[in-house]
Amino acid sequence: MIRLAKGQKDWVLGFLDEVWWSRLAQPNLSSWTADKPLRLVENQIIKSDTEPKALCCYGLLRVDLNQVMLRFVDGRPVSSVTINFLDWVCQRLSSEGKKVLVLVWDNATWHISKMVRNWIRIHNKKVKCEGEGGVRIIKCYLPVKSPWLNPIEPRWVHSKRAVVEPARTLSAVELINRICNYFGVQHFEHLKQKVS
């Protein structure tokens, strides 16, 4: 399927994953210094800080452009947010004239839920009936507990190291801006987790 997707001009091969960006925890990092070694210590939240301790983000690595599409989430990854992200991705790809998204992702509960599977089925049926102007989704699941097979995972690791701030705790806005600058993407409105 990957070989087929790479050979079609109007197909996009995408690897999807979610990541948490902590404002407190520091990534594992090696450094060279002239005097004494740089030590990263986990930051502390002051009591007056009301911002979230971590930010959730959906990402789709587009193999055709070697770029990551990002959307932050107010809340955590759940089925309804996954659907909103997929819908946003399909709209963007459709505006570029793409017809098929070969979606490679893991078996997270919000990926394999009945709600997400039904949405993809209905979405594909709608695209097929309308003919023009839609992106069909072909799902490909990675084996369980095999994150090394998803090429977006190393990008998360490297980006966390690139946006680290050893001297202080970043605000949520500063962290988002650093992440968007690192990936060279626009900061879109956050996806909302519907709370019932």
pLDDT of residue 30: 58
The chain-wide mean pLDDT, for the chain, equals 87
* pTM for the model: 0.86
pLDDT in tens, 116-155: 999 999 999 999 987 666 899 999 999 888 888 999 999 9
pLDDT (0 to 100) of residue 40:
59
Sign of dihedral through CA atoms 33, 155, 157, 178? positive
Query: Quick one: residue 174, left, alpha or beta (phi over 0 = left, psi -120 to 50 = alpha)?
Result: alpha
Domains and CATH numbers, the chain: 2-24+52-190 (3.30.420.10)
Give the mean pLDDT of 102-121.
94
Percent of the chain with pLDDT over 90: 60
pLDDT of residue 22: 85
At 23, the pLDDT band (50, 70, 90 cuts) reads confident
pLDDT at 24: 75
Backbone phi and psi for residue 62, each to the nearest 5 degrees, phi listed first = -85, 115
Q: How many CA atoms lie within 13 A of 37 on its CB side?
A: 6
- Which carries the bigger pLDDT value, residue 1 or residue 182? 182
| Structure tokens given for 17 | 């994953």
